[in-house]
Amino acid sequence: MAGRVQIFVSHSSRDPNRKLFSEAFAVTHVKAEVVEFENIITLPWWKTIKEKVAASVATFVLLSKPLEELKHTQDWIDFEVGLSCAEDKQVWVFEPQGQEIRFLVPYCTYYCIYDPTEPYDAEVKRLKWYIDMYAGETSSKTLWTAPSVTCPRDDCLLEFRVMSNVDTFRCPSCRKPLLWNRQTGQTDPV
């Protein structure tokens, strides 16, 4: 296992779109570090998670509807995002299209809306492309050239890159809607 690139996946085990992500990882050489608390054998939990986050090149946070009701999972995702931030890891927030998920991620460097409807071959391909950039199997230029957005809300101002072709979405941190002009970079509150 030594030397294999891994990405930490922070999610709810009840996420209905897990399959899409596992299919995408399966066609790469990158390991998805998915922690199921029931299966942690080295206690305490926090230590295992801290080590796994530190050993990963990035953290993928998968938002899903069930997450809204799962307080316990929310607390662990908060912890994992906090660790990732402290470790200067890139944090990706993935949100299924058309679902307004009531969960905020205070720190995020990439925000990606995806289409979870089957067949999702195109989305698997797109995810594979992102993951391959971390494996060095394709140029990582996009990671540094994807358009950057700063949330226009004075009480937020989160800066992150947007990996979807959208002109309106909700900031992953304050969860307020914004309008984005991809050409000029201008953002406005809705």
Binding site for Zn ion (CB under 5 A): 151, 153, 156, 158, 171, 173-174
Partners of 7 in the β-ladder = 32, 58
CB neighbours of 176 closer than 8 A, spacing ≥ 6?
Answer: 151, 153, 156, 170, 189, 190
Closer residue to Zn ion in complex, CB, 28/173? 173
Distance in angstroms (rounded) separating the CA atoms of residues 150 and 115 = 24
Closer residue to Zn ion in complex, CB, 122/190? 190
CB atoms within 10 A of CB 109: 20
Closer residue to Zn ion in complex, CB, 105/133? 105
Closer residue to Zn ion in complex, CB, 140/187? 187
Helical pair 18-26 and 121-135, crossing angle rounded to 10 deg: 50
Nearest distance from C-beta of residue 158 to Zn ion, angstroms: 5
Nearest distance from C-beta of residue 112 to Zn ion, angstroms: 16
Nearest distance from C-beta of residue 89 to Zn ion, angstroms: 20
Closer residue to Zn ion in complex, CB, 126/153? 153
Nearest distance from C-beta of residue 105 to Zn ion, angstroms: 11
Nearest distance from C-beta of residue 154 to Zn ion, angstroms: 10
